[in-house]
């Protein structure tokens, strides 16, 4: 299983600022769209995200970058990690350090502005906040609204880029439309069930006509068998 790139947007910011790679090369390495990388270069995307050096975290080498800069058609390959660490499974709400808790409204404002598809429950998981705080920031009723500045929660250390990308991916899938499993089974009320039953029993309805046709077919079958029996008895005599 291939190791995923840590903080792809932050890595793209660093590569745009510190290399001569093309947008396509950076997009291929960071699993982004070339237009998204161009938006990073123009400052329209990933605003407030601090660049992360992939050489320092061992995910890329200088030789690989130099090789890609010399050949625009070359696609960089991620370095194999020297140590594999199993991801710890988090249970319960995210713990936010005390020194960072005052930054949560800024992170909420950034998430609402840059990822409006996220649900409140997802923002609560990422930042470790409450729904009332999210509502106050969204509606502009927060006590410190005048001083709030949208800041990336990854840069603030409130969540990891992996967690953020995962929640955005989940939200994007949910925006396509609810599945049948999400909708559940709709139960009829007693009045609706009674009305449906009456409608089926009324003359002229499809189910009523179908039932009558079945009964008539059964009657016709009985009359045919009776005639056959009478004919058979006449032959015996």
Question: Which residue reads 């949910």 in tokens?
Answer: 174
Q: Which of 175, 206, 229 is at the close of a domain?
A: 175
**Residue 186's pLDDT is what?**
46
Assigned domain for 209 exists: no
The secondary element (H helix, E strand) that includes residue 196 is: helix 190-201
Please state, in angstroms and rounded to a whole number, the distance separating the CA atoms of residues 66 and 21: 9
Assigned domain for 29 exists: yes
Confidence bin at 180 (pLDDT 50/70/90): very low
If asked whether residues 22 and 58 sit together in one domain, one would say yes
**Residue 160's pLDDT is what?**
87
If asked whether residues 57 and 13 sit together in one domain, one would say yes
If asked whether residues 60 and 106 sit together in one domain, one would say no
**63 φ, ψ (degrees, to nearest 5):** -65, -40
Assigned domain for 204 exists: no
Check residues 115 and 205 and name the one with the higher pLDDT: 115
If asked whether residues 51 and 105 sit together in one domain, one would say no
The number of domains in the chain is 2
Assigned domain for 65 exists: yes
Single out the residue of 145, 146, 164 nearest to residue 154, CA to CA: 164
Q: Above 90 in pLDDT, residue 156?
A: no
If asked whether residues 171 and 115 sit together in one domain, one would say yes
Assigned domain for 191 exists: no
**Domain containing residue 16:** 8-70
If asked whether residues 111 and 168 sit together in one domain, one would say yes
Is residue 177 classed exposed, middle or buried when 0-12, 13-18 and 19+ CB atoms within 10 A define those classes?
exposed
């Amino acid at each position: 299983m291939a190791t995923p790139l840590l903080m792809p947007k932050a890595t793209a910011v660093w590569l745009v600022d510190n290399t001569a790679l093309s947008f396509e090369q950076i997009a291929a390495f960071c699993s982004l769209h070339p237009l998204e990388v161009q938006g990073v270069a123009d400052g329209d995307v990933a605003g407030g995200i601090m660049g992360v050096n992939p050489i320092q975290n061992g995910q890329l080498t200088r030789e690989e970058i130099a090789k890609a800069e010399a050949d625009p058609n070359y696609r960089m390959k991620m370095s194999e990690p020297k140590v594999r660490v199993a991801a710890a499974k988090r249970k319960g709400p995210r713990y936010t350090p005390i020194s960072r808790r005052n930054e949560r409204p800024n992170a909420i404002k950034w998430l609402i502005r840059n990822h409006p598809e996220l649900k409140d429950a997802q923002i609560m998981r990422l930042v470790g906040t409450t729904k009332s705080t999210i509502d106050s920031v969204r509606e502009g009723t927060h006590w410190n609204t005048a001083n709030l500045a949208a800041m990336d929660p990854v840069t603030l250390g409130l969540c990891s880029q992996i967690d953020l990308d995962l929640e955005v991916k989940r939200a994007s899938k949910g925006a396509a439309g609810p599945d049948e499993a999400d909708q559940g089974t709709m139960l009829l009320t007693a009045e609706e069930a009674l009305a449906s039953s009456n409608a089926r029993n009324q003359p002229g309805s499809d189910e009523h006509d179908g039932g009558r046709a079945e009964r008539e077919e059964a009657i016709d079958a009985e009359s045919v068998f009776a005639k056959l029996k009478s004919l058979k008895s006449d032959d015996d005599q």
